């Protein structure tokens, strides 16, 4: 099995194994003239005309599922600098400045709203994803005492308590 995937132009090859791109190596945008390692498995690459990010297989597996599953413009684990970069930035915010993260979030929300919504649902529900046994526990889900407790259902709301109901009038009198 080859460590490279051949591009459409003869002689141009892209690193696909976990070998990071280097200056002079081929990228989806041409020959790399600048390469910066941002973090382990996260490399910024530029060519005279374009650029983006390359992720190692390990780094790619660390992406939130909603972001890692998005097909990129360049394909594979290459993320171009105009749109796909936002996926990398949101997935690894510790590797980017705060202002870049705000821009990336805005970009995803505007240009890929379905991806943004899936990501937010994943991010905001970690307990459900991490503890399915607790979420699906029959004792908690089907407990009649919690579901049918008349004392809780029929009890007056705390906001109806006389002390709180009279509190706004007392505050108006104090003015």
Question: Of 47, 39, 2, nearest to 23 (Cα)?
Answer: 47
CA distance 69 to 123: 15
- Tens of pLDDT, residue by residue over 40-99, are 999 999 999 999 999 999 999 999 999 999 999 999 999 999 989 999 999 999 999 999
Domain boundaries along the sequence of the chain: 4-127
The answer to whether the predicted template modeling score (pTM) of the entire model surpasses 0.85 is: no
Residue 154 confidence (pLDDT) above 60: no
């Amino acid at each position: 099995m080859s460590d490279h995937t051949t591009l459409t132009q003869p002689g141009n090859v892209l690193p696909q194994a976990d070998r990071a791109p280097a200056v002079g190596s081929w990228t989806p945008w041409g020959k790399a003239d600048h390469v910066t390692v941002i973090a382990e498995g996260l490399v910024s690459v530029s060519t005279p005309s374009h650029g983006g990010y390359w992720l190692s297989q390990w780094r790619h597996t660390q992406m939130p599922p909603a972001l890692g599953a998005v097909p990129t413009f360049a394909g594979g684990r290459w993320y171009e600098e105009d749109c796909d970069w936002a996926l990398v930035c949101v997935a690894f915010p510790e590797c980017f400045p705060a202002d870049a993260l705000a821009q990336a979030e805005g970009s995803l929300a505007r240009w890929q709203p379905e991806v943004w919504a899936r990501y937010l649902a994943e991010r905001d529900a970690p307990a459900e994803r991490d503890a399915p046994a607790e979420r699906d526990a029959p004792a908690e889900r089907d407990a009649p005492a919690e579901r049918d407790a008349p004392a809780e259902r029929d009890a007056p709301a705390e906001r109806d308590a006389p002390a709180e109901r009279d509190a706004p009038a007392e505050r108006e009198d104090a003015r």
